[in-house]
A and B are shown apart, each in its own frame.
Chain A
Amino acid sequence: MKALLLRDLALALRAGGGFGLGLAFFLIVTVLVPFGVGPQSELLSRIAPGILWLGALLACLLSLDRLLALDWEDGSLDLLATSPLPLEAALMIKAVAHWITTGLPLVLAAPLLGVLLNLPAPGFLWLVVSLAVGTPALSVIGCFGAALTVGVKRGGLLLSLLVLPLYVPTLIFGAEVARRGAVGMDVQTPLLMLAGITMGVIALMPFASAAALRVNLR
């Protein structure tokens, strides 16, 4: 398992594009928003939590089709399926590697971009907390979408369409935590819900992903 994790990380690092792509996209979204909605700082600070969450989600979505596609093409997935490691665990590791290469940089970069959007001071802590709690769910759900569409040629659009409604609850609660944190309200309820979603999908989603991938590898 550790070897697989290290391999995926090394591949993501060496492949160049993949690692920075999500981060660059996140940067582009947040930098372009003020040009789109105008530079009023009170408006920006009000929508900042939502924009940052949305940017993170889109950046995550962007990198999903690479999650399994490369391993599918060169046949590594077949090897993984026949290895003693359960496919569920292998997919979980893949999701973790995806989170480390995509989600974690987003979490770390979010406060910097929050400064650009004039995020209120108390919001920074909860923005980082909500992203740190929520982005693993995005990776795990995305892994399911990738497993469903891995056999489809040019499945990127289909993958986005399938994953889009699945991301809604995570986005709602995540953005709600960040928003409430920014205006100084109590964040406990949405934060607990967000954590619940993340824990739930981590516990259950690998089984669905593995079931889908087994069908595709048949």
Chain B
Amino acid sequence: MSVTDQKPQPKRPSSFWSYANPVKFLAFSERVLPALWVLSAICLGVGLVWGFFFTPDDFRQGSTVKIIYLHVPSALMAINAWFMMLVASLIWIIRRHHVSALAAKAAAPVGVVMTLIALVTGAIWGQPMWGTWWAWDPRLTSFLILFLFYLGYIALWEAIDDPDTAADLTSVLCLVGSAFAVLSRYAVNFWNQGLHQGASLSLDKEENVADVFYFPLLVAIAGFVLLFVALVLYRTGTEIRIRRTRALQAREART
């Protein structure tokens, strides 16, 4: 991104990498953000209202089953947010695009909130169903560990002043953390047999949950995904502007 690099570039507007340019990224995200906000609001509204008010109560779990519309999508996004951070960190390490590092930074607080929602809604559901707020079940424990990884990642970003150093170190942490998160998942499985039911959703099963619950759940998941994308784009834009403001201030101070 140096100024001397002024070769006339062949026009490739369709390349994904062109959005590594902060200006292009901001222009693009400003164009799509309104649509994303509206779409995610619609999906969340439809999915949650449909799920909460227009589905029957489960014959065993009663109305507590409806927490699935918050629990499953947030749990899904908690893992996917970490995965997105891993990809963004890899892009930063390999191609040194600043937007990528900032996107990883922007995604972490969203991910930690998703993890927290999943843990809290799970506890609220578990209290009447399992008779306990918390059990050292593999899935619950893995999520607690994921939560700790998020906290460590965010704390490391906050602790280091130089942005490039912070981006490098957190990327390394994200890579190592991902390996250990997978390892912990298997270790925890080995350590305690679970109370938690199997996966609610998977691609290779005929029917995961009954269709009446399934379709509103899909809509709610779409809403969470869109909300996550919108939040990350928005927060990345904020980070870019903070970076710019700092650069401007530094230039002011020099003159």
Residues on A lying within 8 angstroms of B by beta carbon are 144, 148-149, 151-152, 155, 158, 161-162, 164-166, 168-169, 172-173, 176, 189-190, 193, 197, 205, 208, 211-212, 215-216, 218
Contacts and interface: CB of A to CB of B under 8 A. Distances in A.
Interface of B: 145, 148-149, 151-152, 155-156, 159-160, 165, 168-169, 172-173, 175-177, 180-181, 183-184, 186-188, 190-191
Contacts, number: 76
The 7 tightest CB contacts between A and B, nearest first, are A169-B187, A215-B168, A165-B148, A162-B152, A172-B187, A169-B183, A152-B159
Contact of A144 (B159, B176, B187, B188): B176
Q: Chain A interface mostly helix, strand, loop or mixed? A: helix
B148 A215 contact: no
Contacts of B188: 168, 172
Nearest to A190: B190
Q: Chain B interface mostly helix, strand, loop or mixed? A: helix
Contacts of A215: 165, 168-169, 172
A158 B159 contact: yes
16 contacts: A144-B176, A148-B173, A152-B159, A152-B160, A158-B152, A161-B151, A165-B145, A165-B181, A168-B184, A169-B184, A172-B191, A173-B190, A193-B190, A197-B183, A205-B176, A215-B165
A218 B162 CA distance: 11
A212 B159 contact: no
A204 to B, nearest CB: 8
Which of A162, A190, A216 gathers most chain B CB within 10 Å? A162
Contact of B169 (A166, A169, A216): A216
B143 to A, nearest CB: 12
A155 B172 contact: no
Contacts of A205: 176
B161 to A, nearest CB: 9
A208 B184 CA distance: 18
B172 A168 contact: no
Contacts of A168: 145, 180, 184, 187-188
Given A151-B160, A168-B145, A162 B180 contact: no
Contacts of A152: 159-160
